Amino acid sequence: MLTFLAAVHVFVAILLIIFVLLQDSKGGAMGMLGGGGSNTVFGASGTVNVLVKITRWIAIIFALTCIGLTVLIAGEKEASVMSDVPVAAPVESLKLDPKAPEATSEEAAAPATTPTETEETSQ
């Protein structure tokens, strides 16, 4: 089923590319294919409408096959996609100056004192 849906998806993708390229652009670049002239089978505006409608339906089928492939692939694998990602080691605390001594837990818990407070307590 997955192989069949993938083949249909590729076929629809190629059709979508072809029909998008066949559409008349704002500048009227489809003159070589006869889309710009009034003597076409569907008329001047009829060709554009048919191409737009076909392209719309091909795009809808493409979106449905995308969703179908996603559901089928997700159904085969019961684990999360993130379960295969390796867990990074925890980052150690960064020291700005490698020569500076490490602060102990008592020094880190003590509130910071300003120079004026230090002078007042020493007097």
Q: What is the pLDDT of residues 94-120, one digit of tens each?
A: 656 666 666 565 655 556 665 665 555
pLDDT of residue 47: 58
pLDDT of residue 10: 96
- Measured CA to CA, the distance from residue 103 to residue 101 in angstroms comes to 6
- Average pLDDT of span 49-70: 93
Domain ranges of the chain: 43-77
How far lies 76's CA from each of 4, 20, 36, 73, 84, in Å?
A: 16, 34, 49, 5, 15
Average pLDDT of the chain is: 74
How far lies 80's CA from each of 8, 60, 85, 87, in Å?
A: 27, 28, 10, 14
- Measured CA to CA, the distance from residue 50 to residue 5 in angstroms comes to 26
- Measured CA to CA, the distance from residue 12 to residue 14 in angstroms comes to 5
What is the secondary structure of 15-51 as a DSSP string? HHHHHHHHS--TT-GGGGGTSSSSSSSS-HHHHHHHH
Q: What is the pLDDT of residues 60-95, one digit of tens each?
A: 999 999 999 998 888 776 667 677 778 877 766 665
CB 35 within 8 A of CB 47: yes
Does residue 41 have a pLDDT over 70?
Answer: no
Does residue 38 have a pLDDT over 50?
Answer: no
Report the number of secondary-structure helices (H) and strands (E) in the chain: 4, 0
What is this structure's pTM? Answer: 0.49
Q: Which amino acid is at 16?
A: L
pLDDT of residue 118: 56
Percentage of the residues of the chain whose pLDDT score is greater than 90: 28
- Measured CA to CA, the distance from residue 101 to residue 107 in angstroms comes to 12
